[in-house]
């Protein structure tokens, strides 16, 4: 049976904290058959995030990690963000291609890197439907289930959506050519979380010595847009980490900075969990 995700359950009594990593796998499904070079495909990999954040389960959090690559199907896009330029025949369902699709980075990627086509063939409707049914929907359902369970049990939940980013934007990005900060903390301009929580998280990483930005250049993707409902006590925040902090961006190998970053993430998690455990915690 195809495995769409891994779920790491709390190793101590559960707390209302859910983490998900939608781009942390680089195992290529047999039906992928891309034409792009492996190095170009690997550039979409949010490497090692499930390990960098694994300490959360020792504190009572739940961690969900995708078991498929974003270059195959992107779990952080809307299901109807369909780029019909990829397809051999028209998509038979409603579609709303976003600016991501127009730049070749929709639900199914048209480009691996600027001017590097992902495929040398048109995809069938059946191929895309298989990816949605077998990988995308189960992953998104796992996030929804974890968030709903925490909300029902505790009355509220904090959800961290985990990502990594290239150290500099490329031609497919809105910040092309610009150096990026160490961390970007996003809540879609205060709509997916109480902005005080977002600011608190940014301040903690700043205190650890990192250059941190809020909602720039990333405002948050479709996952936080879907599951962040502050009015219902569901706060979703996207966290992007600059890959240059912990890995060789060309080879994909961990760098000398990996251990220090992981230790700092553990420090942040301990502080965050301690804070949310306080009765009536205020950010």
- Per-residue model confidence as pLDDT tens digits over 23-67: 989 999 999 999 999 999 999 999 999 999 999 999 999 999 999
Q: What is the mean pLDDT of residues 227-255?
A: 96
96 domain residue, yes or no:
no
The structure's pTM equals: 0.95
- Give whole-number Cα distances, 89 to 101, 119, 167, 175, in Å: 17, 16, 37, 33
* CATH number of the CATH domain containing 264: 3.40.630.40
What residues does 6 pair with on adjacent strands?
65
| 137 pLDDT higher than 90 | yes
Establish if 111 belongs to a structural domain: no
Name the DSSP letter for residue 124: P
CB 224 within 8 A of CB 238: yes
**Contact between 16 and 84 (Cβ < 8 Å):** no
Q: Is residue 115 included in any domain, yes or no?
A: no
| Mean pLDDT in residue range 221-236 | 97
Residue 11, in any domain of the structure: yes
Give the pLDDT confidence score for residue 282 in this predicted structure.
Answer: 67
Quick check: 255 and 46 in contact, CB under 8 A? no
Radius of gyration of the chain (CA): 18
Residue 56 domain-assigned? yes
- Is there a cis peptide before residue 37, judged by omega within 30 degrees of 0? no
* Least confident segment among 74-88, 90-104, 148-162, 266-280: 266-280
- Beta pairing class for 183-186 and 234-242: antiparallel
Tell me, what's the pLDDT at 2? Answer: 74
Over residues 138-161, the mean pLDDT reads: 97
Q: What percent of the chain has pLDDT over 70?
A: 98
- Looking at the 3D structure of the chain, how many domains does it have? 1
| Residue-level pLDDT at 15 | 96
Is 103 within a domain? no
Burial of residue 94, with CB atoms counted within 10 A of its CB: 0-12 exposed, 13-18 middle, 19 or more buried? exposed
Q: Is residue 84 part of a domain?
A: no
Give the residue-averaged pLDDT of 89-101: 95
**Range of the structural domain that residue 53 is part of:** 5-73+125-277
* In-domain check, residue 101: no
Burial 171-205 (b: 16+ CB within 10 A, else e): ebbeeeeeebbbbbbbbbeeebbbbebbbbbbebb
Report pLDDT for 171: 67
């Amino acid at each position: 049976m195809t495995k769409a995700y891994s779920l790491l359950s709390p190793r101590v009594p559960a707390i209302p904290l859910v983490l998900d990593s939608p781009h942390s796998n680089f195992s290529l499904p047999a039906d992928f058959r891309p034409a792009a070079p492996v190095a170009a495909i690997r550039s979409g990999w949010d490497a090692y995030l499930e390990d960098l954040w694994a300490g959360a389960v020792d504190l009572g959090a739940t961690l969900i990690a995708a078991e498929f690559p974003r270059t195959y199907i992107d779990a952080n896009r809307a299901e109807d963000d369909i780029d019909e330029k990829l397809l051999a025949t028209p998509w038979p369902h409603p579609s709303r291609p976003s600016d991501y699709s127009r730049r070749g980075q929709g639900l199914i990627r048209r480009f691996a890197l600027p001017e590097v086509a992902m495929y040398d063939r048109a995809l069938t409707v059946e191929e895309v439907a298989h990816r949605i049914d077998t990988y995308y929907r189960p992953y998104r359902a796992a996030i929804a289930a974890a968030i709903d369970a925490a909300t029902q049990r505790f009355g509220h939940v904090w959800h961290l959506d985990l990502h990594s980013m290239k150290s500099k934007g490329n031609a497919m990005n809105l910040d092309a050519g610009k150096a990026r900060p160490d961390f970007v903390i996003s809540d879609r301009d205060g709509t997916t979380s109480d902005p005080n929580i977002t600011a608190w998280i940014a301040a903690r990483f700043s205190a650890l010595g990192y250059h941190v930005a809020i909602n720039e250049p990333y405002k948050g993707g479709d996952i936080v847009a879907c599951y962040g409902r502050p009015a219902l006590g569901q706060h979703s925040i996207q966290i992007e980490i600059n890959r240059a902090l912990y890995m060789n961006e060309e080879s994909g190998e961990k760098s000398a900075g990996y251990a220090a970053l992981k230790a700092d993430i553990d420090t942040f998690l301990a502080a965050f969990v301690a804070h949310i455990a306080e009765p009536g915690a205020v950010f």
